[in-house]
Chain A
């Protein structure tokens, strides 16, 4: 016993040192926590919970399964591919009656409609008639509406009868299940999402490269000009930040549309004919130009903050050692700006991948990005689970990029401002 007590360090009055230290720091820790608490709560409520809920929705959807207990039971008892028999139709009718009672036929129908379009009305219509149906139900139902014979509808109901599903992810990756339940690609012509993901990544990369090309010289100037001039230039760079996003986007519309300022100038200058006005709006050009402009400050600021810390003596040293100005730039200056390039590129790319308003306004059909489709599923088709799955894939992609960046450049090397 005495050995143990001797081995623990104690304060002068015999309290264990660790406990005394914790007690003495408790007040400071409590204070620190109080300072952080408001933001912490805010972030939990407005960020962690919604994102968690979104991720949950992408794999959980009970709008059908909650009002179809009998069908659920039948699907559990019979393996996939079983021809729906009388018992199956009896279950269907019983569930339709329940839906009529709970007024949930529309919602349940919408869920099946995600998979097979035009099926929502089958549910609402049949639910209205469900009370009048008499056994044998199979004949009764089919007599009312021949479409219930469709095995695709039954397959869709089977998959929707379990609230947990990865089907939304399959849909988000242009995949579906065939008759036997195995995963296959969707038919030619129905695939949209993979192409959109590809386009989003490509356009974001293009925008990032354009931002980098435009921001690098400006940031360099900002970092090397005397204070008074660089402040003025900085205000010009930040001006877009102080203008509403919508105003900026619409001003690009004024500039780029076919009767717009740029085209008018080109026609005036005789570069293009009046009938050959260039289409720069409602296509990818519009999206790229407007987003490059809007995201430019996010590239300039990290670059500037890195460049400001690079003393001019490095390039001078390189020059005095015999390097031409190009070699000095490439071998000495550029490598030292990498943390800024990395931070700016990551920032611009991540923002571009998730951008919504600008492509929605100036992108037309071909300039749409994945986030516009997410918005479509949130607002128009009301397929929140698919929207959530698309968003989760986007989030996953960004996290992977972030991880790659950390592996290649090191996140500690990043400098944001």
Chain B
């Protein structure tokens, strides 16, 4: 048993499917293995099945098909209270009729822990989230950020090996959210727990996670570390969902090894890296990050194709310039250039030639 756990990861979804109504599958064939101590984020648009996956793992929904294993053991039929999984809910779910101290003592009490040990653990957990002075407050007397910390402390106080968080920062303002992201990450590192985190905020997913599983339509679209996800999206959905992307539709002209050229609908030829195109003549969508677009020829590699662009708008954003251009008939092509001392200032209506490193343009499946 333990060997199996070592081999396949701490949490395993094995061909899991879920349907609520018997007509549509909300989760379609989910296979996912999460290592011990890993911080894995499920990222995806609303309705993509993230919460459902988390609820199946926590035991509040049953898998229609497939197996979920925790530490090598099938937990499909283990009731939620016996799974020993800590959980942080989106609206915190702090018990309103109990004080902060009572909220934290609750999981220890139901485990039959003695009073002195309980108090000690509660105090330690509160100190961990810097809320030691609030032990006698009621949840309603706390701000959103404070409630969030208490919910976190409550999910950790009984030393679970696995903690699930369902959009825990969704209700906080931006500044507090960023601060809490840091704290959660910090707690994860110091406690060595396994975290499964759900969010629809890509920034959050990228900054916090060891690996991110991008969900859409009940399937994992890509499972990869943040940098790989950002730089090497495997399909158009991921490319579009993570960060900003320019999309140029076209047809593969030539394909050789890890390089290809694409003829755009307006006739121009551009360089790209084939990702999921297999042969010349196939339709494709080329995606390029705005910050990888160059307009100075010395920044482009030898022999790179360039393409004409007309500047439509230059937005000053402090650290960068965001230039919107008309490229190959599309008016939504964006280029971001750093605001450095010698940066060339583009003006509206100016005609320039742009290009990029072939690695930065990814020829993906057309959507």
A interface residues with partner B (beta carbon < 8 Å):
311, 313-314, 316-325, 327-328, 331-332, 335-336
- B96 interfacial by beta-carbon distance below 8 Å: yes
Q: How far is the CA of A328 from the CA of B79 in the complex (A)?
A: 13
Contact B110 A320 (CB under 8 A): no
CB atoms of B95 and A320 under 8 A apart: no
Q: How far, in whole Å, are A325 and B81 apart by their CA atoms in the complex? A: 8
Is B110 a contact of A314 with CB atoms below 8 Å? no
Q: Check if B95 sits within 8 Å of A332, measured CB to CB.
A: yes
> Is A316 in contact with B93, judged by CB distance below 8 angstroms?
yes
Q: CB within 8 A of B158: which of A321, A332, A335, A336? A: A321
User: B91 — which chain A residues lie within 8 A by C-beta?
Assistant: 311, 313
Which among A316, A317, A322 is the interface contact of B111 at CB below 8 angstroms?
A322
CA distance in complex: A316, B88 (Å)? 11
Given A316-B60, A316-B80, A335-B97: A321 and B89 interface contact (C-beta under 8 Å): no
Determine whether the beta carbon of B93 is less than 8 Å from that of A317.
Answer: yes
- For the complex, what is the distance from the CA of A328 to the CA of B93, rounded to whole Å? 13
A331–B96 Cα distance when bound, in Å, is: 12
Of B81, B89, B90, B93, which one neighbours A322 at CB under 8 angstroms? Answer: B81
Partner of A323, one of B58, B81, B83, B85: B81
Tell me, in angstroms, the Cα distance from A335 to B95 when the chains sit together: 10
Contact for B86 among A320, A328, A332, CB less than 8 A: A320
Query: Judging by beta carbons under 8 Å apart, are B97 and A322 in contact?
Result: no
* Chain B residues whose CB sits within 8 angstroms of the CB of A324 once the complex forms: 81, 110
B66 close to chain A: CB less than 8 A: no
Determine if B60 and A319 form an interchain contact, defined as CB atoms under 8 angstroms apart.
yes
- CB distance A321 to B110 under 8 Å? yes
Contacts of B83 in A (CB 8 A): 320
Return the CB mask of B222-251 against A: 1 if under 8 Å, else 0. 000000000000000000000000000000
Check: B356 CB closer than 8 A to any chain A CB.
no
Q: Are B110 and A323 in contact (CB under 8 A)?
A: yes
List B contacts of A327 (CB < 8 A): 110
Taking A317-B87, A322-B110 as known contacts, 13 extra A-B pairs with beta carbons closer than 8 A to each other, sorted by chain A number, are A311-B91, A313-B93, A314-B93, A316-B80, A316-B93, A318-B95, A319-B80, A320-B59, A320-B83, A321-B86, A323-B81, A324-B110, A336-B96
Instruction: Check B107 for interface membership: any CB of A closer than 8 A.
Output: yes
27 pairs, CB–CB < 8 Å, chain A vs chain B? A311-B91, A311-B93, A313-B89, A313-B90, A313-B91, A313-B93, A314-B93, A314-B95, A316-B80, A317-B95, A319-B59, A319-B60, A319-B79, A319-B80, A320-B83, A320-B85, A321-B154, A321-B158, A322-B107, A322-B111, A323-B106, A324-B81, A325-B79, A332-B95, A335-B97, A336-B96, A336-B97
Q: How far is the CA of A321 from the CA of B80 in the complex (A)?
A: 9
Q: What CA separation (Å) do A327 and B90 show in the bound complex?
A: 23
> How many Å lie between the Cα of A325 and that of B85 in the bound state?
16
On chain B, the residues within 8 Å of A319 by CB distance are 59-60, 79-81
Contact with A along B61-97 (1 / 0, CB 8 A): 0000000000000000001110111110111010111
Are A318 and B58 in contact, CB atoms less than 8 angstroms apart? no
CB distance from A342 to the nearest CB of B (A): 14
Among B59, B93, B95, chain A packs the most CB atoms within 10 A around the CB of B93
Contact A320–B158 (Cβ < 8 Å): no
A408 to chain B, nearest CB (A): 15
Chain A residues with Cβ below 8 Å from B106 are 318, 321, 323, 331
Are A322 and B84 touching (Cβ within 8 A)? yes
Closest to A312 in B: B60
Q: Which of B89-117 contact A (CB under 8 A)?
A: 89-91, 93, 95-97, 106-107, 110-111
Q: Does A320 contact B87, Cβ atoms closer than 8 Å?
A: yes
Chain B nearest CB, measured from A326 CB (Å): 10
Residues on the B chain within 8 Å of A316, using CB? 58, 60, 80, 87, 89, 93
A328 to chain B, nearest CB (A): 8
Chain A residues lying within 8 Å of B79, measured Cβ to Cβ, are 319, 325
For A321, A325, A331, the residue with the greatest tally of chain B CB atoms inside 10 Å of its CB is A321
Question: How far is the CB of B362 from the nearest CB of chain A, in Å?
Answer: 40
Q: Could you tell me if A320 and B81 are in contact, using CB atoms closer than 8 angstroms?
A: yes
Determine if A321 and B60 form an interchain contact, defined as CB atoms under 8 angstroms apart.
Answer: no
Question: How many angstroms between the C-alpha atoms of A336 and B60 in the bound complex?
Answer: 21
Q: Does the CB pair A321–B97 fall under 8 Å?
A: no
Q: Chain B residues near A331 (CB, 8 Å)?
A: 106
Q: Which residues of A contact B93 (CB under 8 A)?
A: 311, 313-314, 316-317
Q: Which residues of B contact A320 (CB under 8 A)?
A: 58-59, 80-81, 83, 85-87, 155, 164
- CB–CB B158/A322 < 8 A: yes
A134 to B160, CA, bound (A): 106
| Cβ contacts under 8 Å, A335 to chain B | 97
Residue of A318, A328, A335 with highest tally of chain B CB at under 10 A: A318
Q: How far is the CB of B126 from chain A (nearest CB, A)?
A: 16
Contacts of A325 in B (CB 8 A): 79, 81
Docked Cα-Cα span, A252 to B93, in Å, equals 45
Tell me the bound Cα distance from A325 to B79 in angstroms: 10
Chain A residues with Cβ below 8 Å from B60 are 316, 319
Q: In the assembly, what is the distance between CA of A268 and CA of B303, in Å?
A: 99
Name the residue of chain A whose CB is nearest to the CB of B83: A320
- Nearest opposing residue in chain B for A331, CB measure: B106
CB contacts (< 8 Å) of A317 on chain B: these are: 87, 89, 93, 95
Chain A nearest CB from B266 CB (Å) reads 51
Nearest neighbor of A328 in chain B, beta-carbon distance: B81
CB-nearest residue of chain B relative to A335?
A: B97
**Distance between Cα atoms of A332 and B158 in the complex (Å):** 18
